[in-house]
Amino acid sequence: MRIAIPMDERNTDTGLCPSFGRAPIFLLHDTKTGKDVFYTNPAADAPGGAGLKAAQFIVDQKADVLITVRCGENSAQVFRAVGIVVYKAANGTAKENLSAFAQGKLPHMTEFHAGFQGRA
Amino acid sequence: MILAVLSGKGGAGKTFVSVNLAVTAGRATYIDCDVEEPNGRLFLKPKDIKEKPVSSRIPEFDPEKCSECRKCVDFCQFNALVYVGDRPVVFPEVCHSCGGCAIVCPSGAVKETERQVGTVETGWRGDVRVVTGILNPGEASAVPVIKSALKTGCAAEELTVLDCPPGSGCSVLESVSSADYCILVVEPTAFGLHNFQMVAELVWLMKKPWGVVINREDGAYPPLEEFCTQNAIPILGRIPYSKKLAGLCAAGQIACTSDEETGHLFARLLYAVREEAET
């Protein structure tokens, strides 16, 4: 299983980036191999539609799960369409969130904000 | 004459100046181009309203023809397209209807269809025609609704007052492009002056003749006076900072008809604008 997490730093001992679409970095964690790979988010500086572009990146990375602090409705629609499951992150580092997820302690994301459409 | 009323920041008094100028002129058209929050109608209370839908184009993808090359998704500067499963999907509220996806598609799989994004209302207050552009909430681009409101309302032979959106972005550019003369409403404060200078750059860039109306003036604000003097910008009128005017506005009244002094002020302002615009 591949898990995506928006990050501010390339370090699993640091916390998550509170934004999804404009997070500078995405962590992709492979539960089979235990490997962590960091990617630059191509949508971080998008003038508009960052959430959709970031969602496209997560889809293309073949993630199965997204753990995030927030997520917009447009991105959520993309994830629903391809069957990526979105979980609400807890406080703490990426590593702590991955372990909480493995223990089934993270809730499903139920609230998606309306998105800012470049108006932020 | 088409007269655009602008300001850098919101709340400077564009609607106040626009509505009062249109009513003072008697026979005139007032067009609310501030389509995200059109409020001129709250004062003008138009009657015999007719509505016209405004639509914009969005792409539709033919899965039979789509070769899954993703050129459309990569091309879209607004990121309105996402490649999901085995085909592109459009997010209509993010789409700006540029038509680029249809142009870059090598297999002719993109067809454009119409989608309603807003409404233009036309009504009357006496001899003032009131045209209001209304953008549906959540839409990304105000431009189609502004274009439609201008097309509906602009009549060069009589006075047409364009109540523009605040700022200096795309929707302001769209509103100003058809104007013969611009009025910049400015509040005599540091914040007001800063945002006013951004709009001044825009009207200079568009080579439009223009002048200034100072609103809520409470004594001279030297930096604003100096800016106008140095750049030879005419100050067409000065509206005082007054509790009476604030009260009339809050009650949805039109100041130039409810208050004699304000009536004179707008008659003189209209005269000054016509004189400036004709030279």
pLDDT, tens digit, 9 for 90 and up, residues B100-120: 999 999 999 999 999 999 999
Work out the average pLDDT over B174-188.
Answer: 94
pLDDT(B87) > 50: yes
Work out the average pLDDT over B214-221.
Answer: 94
Percentage with pLDDT > 70 across chain A: 95
Question: Do residue B111 and residue B128 come from a single domain?
Answer: no
Work out the average pLDDT over B76-94.
Answer: 91
Residues from chain B that touch A60, judged by Cβ atoms under 8 A, are 83
Q: Which of A48, A52, A81 is the closest to B85 by Cβ?
A: A81
By C-alpha distance, the chain A residue nearest B74 is A53
Number of structural domains, chain B?
2
The closest of B218, B142, A65 to B133, measured between CA atoms, is B142
Work out the average pLDDT over B186-198.
Answer: 95
* ipTM for the predicted complex: 0.82
Work out the average pLDDT over B78-105.
Answer: 92
Confidence grade of residue B156 (pLDDT, cut at 50, 70, 90): low
**Distance (Å, rounded) from C-alpha B259 to C-alpha B248?**
9
Across A7-22, b (16+ Cβ under 10 Å) vs e yields beeeebeebbbebbbb
Residues from chain A that touch B91, judged by Cβ atoms under 8 A, are 49, 52, 74, 77
Record: contact A53-B89, CB cut-off 8 A: no
Question: Do residue B19 and residue B105 come from a single domain?
Answer: no
Residue A71: what residue type?
A: C
The sign of the torsion formed by the CA atoms of A42, A45, A47, A49 equals: positive
Alpha helices, DSSP H, located in chain B: 14-25, 40-44, 71-75, 100-104, 143-153, 170-176, 190-205, 222-230, 243-250, 255-258, 260-278
Confidence grade of residue B279 (pLDDT, cut at 50, 70, 90): confident
The sign of the torsion formed by the CA atoms of A58, B137, B246, B187 equals: positive
Record: contact B91-A74, CB cut-off 8 A: yes
Work out the average pLDDT over B237-261.
Answer: 96
**Distance (Å, rounded) from C-alpha B221 to C-alpha B176?**
27
Confidence (pLDDT) at B259: 96
Residue located via tokens 């807003």:
B118
Question: Do residue B76 and residue B166 come from a single domain?
Answer: no
3-state helix, strand, coil in chain A (%, to 5): 25, 25, 50
Instruction: Compute φ and ψ for A8, nearest 5 degrees.
Output: -90, -30
Work out the average pLDDT over B192-203.
Answer: 95
Residue A19: what residue type?
A: S
- Structure letter (DSSP) for residue A2: E
The closest of B5, B42, B32, B23 to B128, measured between CA atoms, is B23
Q: DSSP labels for B198-261?
A: HHHHHHHHTT--EEEEEEEE-S--HHHHHHHHHTT--EEEEEE--HHHHHHHHTT--HHHH-HH
By C-alpha distance, the chain A residue nearest B95 is A49
| Interface residue of B72, B76, B91 to substitute, partner A, most A CBs within 10 Å | B91
Strand partners, A85: A65
Question: Do residue B10 and residue B87 come from a single domain?
Answer: no
**Distance (Å, rounded) from C-alpha B62 to C-alpha B41?**
43
Record: contact A48-B73, CB cut-off 8 A: no
Q: Which of B77, B82, B140 is the closest to A56 by Cβ?
A: B82
pLDDT(A118) > 70: no
Query: Per residue in A28-51, pLDDT tens?
Result: 999 999 999 999 999 999 988 999
Question: Do residue B90 and residue B224 come from a single domain?
Answer: no
- Four-way CATH pick for A2-102: 3.40.440.10, 3.30.420.130, 3.40.309.10, 1.20.1260.10: 3.30.420.130
Question: Do residue B130 and residue B69 come from a single domain?
Answer: no
Question: Do residue B49 and residue B105 come from a single domain?
Answer: no
Confidence (pLDDT) at A95: 97
Query: Per residue in B17-26, pLDDT tens?
Result: 999 999 999 9
Record: contact B85-A82, CB cut-off 8 A: yes
Question: Do residue B153 and residue B72 come from a single domain?
Answer: no
Question: Do residue B76 and residue B13 come from a single domain?
Answer: no
Question: Do residue B168 and residue B222 come from a single domain?
Answer: yes
Mean pLDDT computed over every residue of chain B: 94
Question: Do residue B264 and residue B162 come from a single domain?
Answer: yes
Least confidently predicted of A71-75, A103-107, B128-132, B168-172: B168-172
CB B161 within 8 A of CB B3: yes
| Interface residue of B72, B75, B79 to substitute, partner A, most A CBs within 10 Å | B79
Record: contact A48-B84, CB cut-off 8 A: no
Record: contact A55-B77, CB cut-off 8 A: no
Q: CA of B169, closest CA in chain A: separation in Å?
A: 12
Alpha helices, DSSP H, located in A1-115: 50-60, 73-82, 94-102
Residue range of the domain that includes B95: 57-116
Confidence (pLDDT) at B136: 95
Confidence (pLDDT) at A119: 43
Confidence grade of residue A115 (pLDDT, cut at 50, 70, 90): low
Q: How many CB pairs under 8 A join A and B?
A: 50
Question: Do residue B168 and residue B212 come from a single domain?
Answer: yes
Q: CA of B141, closest CA in chain A: separation in Å?
A: 10
Q: CA of B71, closest CA in chain A: separation in Å?
A: 14
Record: contact A117-B73, CB cut-off 8 A: no
| B77: CATH | 3.30.70.20
Confidence (pLDDT) at A26: 98
Domain closes at, from B66, B93, B116: B116
| B21: CATH | 3.40.50.300
Confidence (pLDDT) at A120: 37
